[in-house]
Amino acid sequence: MTFEERQDFARQVADLNKYGQALNQCASVDEVVSLTLEAITLLFDFTDVTVVEVRGDDLRVVGSTNPELSDGDPPGSVADRAVAAGETVTVTGPDARLDGDSAVDAALAVPAAIVEETVAVIVVRSATVEEFGDEYVRPMEILASHAATAISNIRSRERLERARQDIETKKEMIELYDRLLRHDLGNDLQVITGFSEALVDMIEDDDRAHYAERIHEAARSSSDLIQRVGDLVSTLEGEEEPEPRDLASILERTVSEVRTGYDDITVEFDPAEFEYTVYAGELLGSVFTNLLSNAVVHNEEPVTVRTYVEETADGIVVGFADDGEGVDPSIRDELFEMGRKGPDSGGSGFGLGFVRALTESYGGDVTVRESDRGGADFRVRLQRA
């Protein structure tokens, strides 16, 4: 018998949708787990139900009506098989049991996934059902889908809140460094710059004048660097908390500006592919501008950048893949550090550090890998609103 052929099909779908709405109102993963266990127990009259949370390769029980399982326990092989296969798994006989003394005859493991990323597994074991058929599999998959959406949304909110807290801490530290740089060190450098300039004019000996000139240039360069850091700090301090923003319109405006400003770049961009709303601040466009202009500045030949978007379990990835010279693998991990730049770079080294600081403040991140065209592929992960 299929799920749709059951006499109580309409009622069961209605009940599942009600639980789905309730799951989306949950404020924590614990609430999602508790409500999922309740739904399966009440709607299907199963007494051996386990919810397994999946984080990468780590599977751990987060709730179970089985007294033999506690939070944090490994879930058993049937859950592992469901995650590995990326689809529902049913088993019968000894393979369905947690131990040899169990009376269980059948087990069902349903992965709860968002965009092919499994975030949880629902495991049901029964001593009365000989084999789980479609009449059980289909409704469990519907409930698992609701649970996956709820867990993914909660994780996104938690990441966004952590990002907000982190950026506040970072702002406090940045403000402290800013005061030290601009006031204390800045004042000293002004003195050095002034006196070294006077020495250059006073010394007639060419060798000595050369040394005085080098001191003057170093002091002036340091003063300029402090000013650039100060401007960056002021920009970050003025950035407001993330709010829902239209991705397509921001990217469209950015791409247009870059195309106008640089003759040696071709940007492959289709606004229709980027119809998403994301959490970000007003400077999201600056993130994209930095990455696109970076492709031109660091390649001697004309460059083509392909923009693309990928959905993830908790957000989206906006990618910029070019056909340029690429990024040396040895410096990829350090590329986004403030002030870090490649050996042949003539820039300040703050552009990509600025990009990382902003994306992290939005609850996302930025990474780089080799593109399918042999160049660089910068990937900006953002939270969906």
pLDDT of residue 268: 96
Pick the closest to residue 238 from 175, 183, 177 (CA basis). 175
Query: Does CATH place domain 3-160 in 3.60.20.10?
Result: no
Strands (E), 83-156: 89-92, 106-114, 117-126
Predicted structure pTM score:
0.58
Q: Under a CB-based contact definition with an 8 Å cutoff, are residues 330 and 340 in contact?
A: no
Task: For the beta carbon of residue 199, count every other beta carbon within 10 angstroms.
Answer: 16
Low-confidence ranges of the chain (pLDDT < 50): 343, 346-348
Looking at residue 125, what DSSP letter applies?
A: E
pLDDT at residue number 250: 95
For the record, the structure tokens of 141 come out as: 């998959």
Query: What are the residue ranges spanned by the domains of the chain?
Result: 3-160, 241-385
pLDDT at 234: 65
Instruction: Provide DSSP, 174-236.
Output: HHHHHHIIIIIIHHHHHHHHHHHHHHHHH--SHHHHHHHHHHHHHHHHHHHHHHHHHHHHHHH
CA 115 to chain centre: 14
pLDDT, tens digit, 9 for 90 and up, residues 264-321: 899 999 999 999 999 988 889 989 998 998 888 888 889 999 999 999 877 899 999 9
CB 102 within 8 A of CB 92: no
Distances (CA, A) of 154 to 32, 65, 105: 9, 23, 35
To which residue do tokens 């050369």 refer?
A: 210
| pLDDT confidence of residue 346 | 47
CATH of domain 241-385: 3.30.565.10
How far is 224 from 186, CA to CA, in rounded Å? 10
> Look-up: residue for tokens 């300039």?
197
Instruction: State how far the Cα of 333 lies from the Cα of 297, in Å rounded to an integer.
Output: 20
Domains 3-160 and 241-385 share a fold: no
- Looking up tokens 């740089």, which residue turns up? 181
Tell me, rounded to whole angstroms, the distance of Cα 267 from its chain centroid: 24
Q: Which of 39, 66, 41 is nearest to 52 (CA)?
A: 66
In 3D space, the residue among 47, 14, 54, 66 whose CA is nearest the CA of residue 148 turns out to be 54
Tokens of 56: 């990468």
Query: In angstroms, how far is the first alpha carbon of the chain from the final one?
Result: 40
Report the Cα 19 to chain-centroid distance in Å.
28
Q: At what angle do helices 351-361 and 134-179 cross, to 10 degrees?
A: 130
CA distance 167 to 255: 28
Both tokens assigned to 263:
């003759």
